[in-house]
Amino acid sequence: DEEFDELCFEFGLELDEITSEKDIISKEKGEEKAKGASDVILYKIDVPANRYDLLCLEGLVRGLQVFKERINLPRYEKIIPAEGEGQRLIVTEQTAQIRPHAVAAVLRNVTFTKDRYDSFIDLQEKLHQNICRKRALVAIGTHDLDTISGPFTFTAKAPSEIKFKPLNQSKEYTASQIMDLYRTDSHLRHYLHLIENKPRYPVIYDSNGVVLSMPPIINGDHTKISLNTRNVFIECTGTDITKAKIVLDVIVTMFSEYCEKPFTVEAAEVVYPNGKTHIYPELAYRTEKVKPEYINKKVGISETPSSLAKLLTRMCLKSHVTGNGNHIEVEIPPTRADIIHACDIVEDAAIAYGYNNIQMVIPKTYTIANQLPLNKLAELLRLDLAAAGFTEALTFALCSQEDIADKLGMDISATNAVRIANPKTAEFQVARTTLLPGLLKTIAANRKMPLPLKLFEISDIVVKDPNRDVGARNYRHLCAIYYNKSPGFEIIHGLLDRVMQLLEVPPNEENGYTIKAAEGTAFFPGRCAEVFAKGQSIGKLGVVHPDVITKFELTMPCSALEINIEPFV
């Protein structure tokens, strides 16, 4: 087990855990439920999401064997049958609106055993969940070719016109009945929505009108594969032709090793509505050229070109050095759809070299992280506000429209608030434009606490700003509130003076701060002042208006201060 764990790690995989069906069930549902479950040891292996060729045992073993240099990478061959003898899949124009693309191939003289069969079905399921995006982009159908006769037709019909016996069912159903039948099926119900509301459903027939499948829901029972199946017809239909080709390539390359002539696939011809034909599977090999020094530089190693080529060959990328050693020619097999750019080749070279074998060096660029000045200021202010006897509160950045407008006696259009397009609850409709409602709600939730309540918060507020690329901007505000039997304006005024003292802003007009009488809808008339500092208005303080107090379900008077601290950074 330890050796295998090591091997997986070297190959860039992770052996998650060694367990058994019994262990899994007893962990999830308890010992009782696990009775009678299998004790067979299972390896849970984490495979990168882009390595579709490692999603089944065949591919994984093949990859590891090549990596260990026990076998050479097999060469996948496409056999094109003689004129008129191959299988044809004819796509009609009715499919254009639903699932316009189809690809197909044939595996000849396959020998299935129970394990191979299970692996074959399992790979299809894993591909469906992964690259096929739960069958939305591609749906795979595999059929016993000896039970049907081509050419095959991929078309779309009204649900009432489609009638067949679905896989593992005992009688025939129309397509609409099939939808009802599987609505309660834990596995298939998740795919019904893909075609449910379409006027026509996709369907594949053979030349005698036998239904092979109704993608992406279910195959017909007639073409069911068994352990005795010798010839397999594979079709992939979908909305994304590139993904369909990749899926077909992966399935045929993985399971062609069980054909009489290993690693050979019989091609099939797909005829499009415009009369054009195409041969699938593509099984395309392509070559890329990479400079050895590019690989060495990116990975941070200094290997010779020939040893780099050897490393890449171990990763199923057959490589050799060309042009007096200044290039490596890499052949990318059809199994490796994840190789898109030179950096993917570099990554494989690094894996084969072994991440643990790369020497650690100090980076050439030397930087030290630093706290954002605004955050540093906010942290320092928090400490001193707490020292002044105020308790810090942290409230939600989202609130309802009433909180920032109606309850404060303003109109929502005047607040310049950023709205949420489809809010889940009435509590989270807009981003807050002021911190005051959050603190008033906090007091309302803590009315049972002994008086006086002294709270503060230093956080961001959000307002619309057409000049910003995102259409909005944040401001860091400081808000403090005092709630008692008397308004306590002098306490809040004293706090403002203390904050300014800490910020070393003197109380004068030239280069300091001043307060001037003002009006604010949230404040009591004649008990409100605007704070000016650094030549600009930075906020207000005053006694909160009785209407605002009652709207927030409070009973005592309170006074508040809210200023923008960004000018002091």
pLDDT for residue 32 is more than 90: no
Q: Are strands 101-107 and 232-238 parallel, antiparallel or unpaired?
A: antiparallel
Summarize the confidence of residues 439-464 as an average pLDDT. 92
pLDDT for residue 424 is more than 80: yes
> Could you tell me what percent of the chain has a pLDDT over 90?
64
Summarize the confidence of residues 382-389 as an average pLDDT. 93
CA atoms 258, 264, 266, 271: torsion sign: positive
Residue 259 near residue 110 (C-beta atoms within 8 A): yes
pLDDT for residue 426 is more than 80: yes
Residue 43 near residue 240 (C-beta atoms within 8 A): no
Domain with CATH 3.30.56.10 in the chain: 1-46, 286-357
CA atoms 273, 242, 314, 128: torsion sign: negative
DSSP lists the bridge partners of residue 102 as 237
Residue 497 near residue 507 (C-beta atoms within 8 A): yes
Mean pLDDT across the chain: 90
Helix intervals (H) in 14-55: 21-29, 31-34
Structure tokens at 283: 């099984």
What is the pLDDT, as a whole number, of residue 143? Answer: 93
pLDDT for residue 285 is more than 90: yes
Angle at 177 between CA 173 and CA 182, to 5 degrees: 105
Residue 217 near residue 188 (C-beta atoms within 8 A): yes
Enter the pTM of the model: 0.68
Q: How far apart are CA 435 and CA 449, in angstroms?
A: 21
What is the pLDDT, as a whole number, of residue 422? Answer: 86
pLDDT band at 185 (very low <50, low <70, confident <90, very high): confident
pLDDT tens, residue by residue, 341-373: 999 999 999 999 998 899 988 888 888 888 999
**Residue 43 burial (CB < 10 Å; 0-12/13-18/19+)?**
middle
Summarize the confidence of residues 124-130 as an average pLDDT. 92
Structure tokens at 440: 């008033």
CATH of segment(s) 286-357: 3.30.56.10
pLDDT tens, residue by residue, 508-533: 888 889 999 998 888 999 899 999 99
- In 3D space, the residue among 204, 225, 140, 171 whose CA is nearest the CA of residue 181 turns out to be 171
Coil, helix or strand for 43?
A: strand
**E strands present in 61-137:** 77-79, 87-91, 101-107
**E strands present in 256-299:** 264-271, 277-280, 286-290
Structural class in CATH, domain 1-46: alpha beta
Residue 522 near residue 510 (C-beta atoms within 8 A): no
What is the pLDDT, as a whole number, of residue 427? Answer: 87
pLDDT band at 324 (very low <50, low <70, confident <90, very high): confident
What is the pLDDT, as a whole number, of residue 464? Answer: 92
Phi-psi region of 187 (alpha: psi -120 to 50; beta: other; left: phi over 0): alpha
Structure tokens at 250: 């992966």
> Is CATH 3.40.50.2000 what the domain over 373-568 is classified as, yes or no?
no
With tokens 């005092």, the residue in question is 482
What is the pLDDT, as a whole number, of residue 23? Answer: 83
pLDDT for residue 49 is more than 80: yes
pLDDT band at 462 (very low <50, low <70, confident <90, very high): very high
Residue 532 near residue 513 (C-beta atoms within 8 A): yes
What is the pLDDT, as a whole number, of residue 405? Answer: 87
C-alpha distances in Å from residue 441, one per residue of 189, 393, 419, 438, 482: 44, 11, 20, 5, 13
Residue 535 amino acid letter: G
pLDDT for residue 44 is more than 80: yes
The rounded radius of gyration (Å) of the Cα atoms in the chain is 35
Domain with CATH 3.50.40.10 in the chain: 77-280
Residue 459 near residue 473 (C-beta atoms within 8 A): no
pLDDT tens, residue by residue, 73-84: 899 999 999 888
Domain with CATH 3.30.930.10 in the chain: 373-568
List of residues 6+ apart from 568 with CB closer than 8 A: 377, 503, 505, 533, 534
pLDDT band at 410 (very low <50, low <70, confident <90, very high): confident
Residue 212 near residue 141 (C-beta atoms within 8 A): yes
**Superfamily (CATH H level) for 77-280:** Phenylalanyl-trna Synthetase, Chain B, domain 3 (3.50.40.10)
pLDDT for residue 31 is more than 80: no
Residue 161 near residue 155 (C-beta atoms within 8 A): no
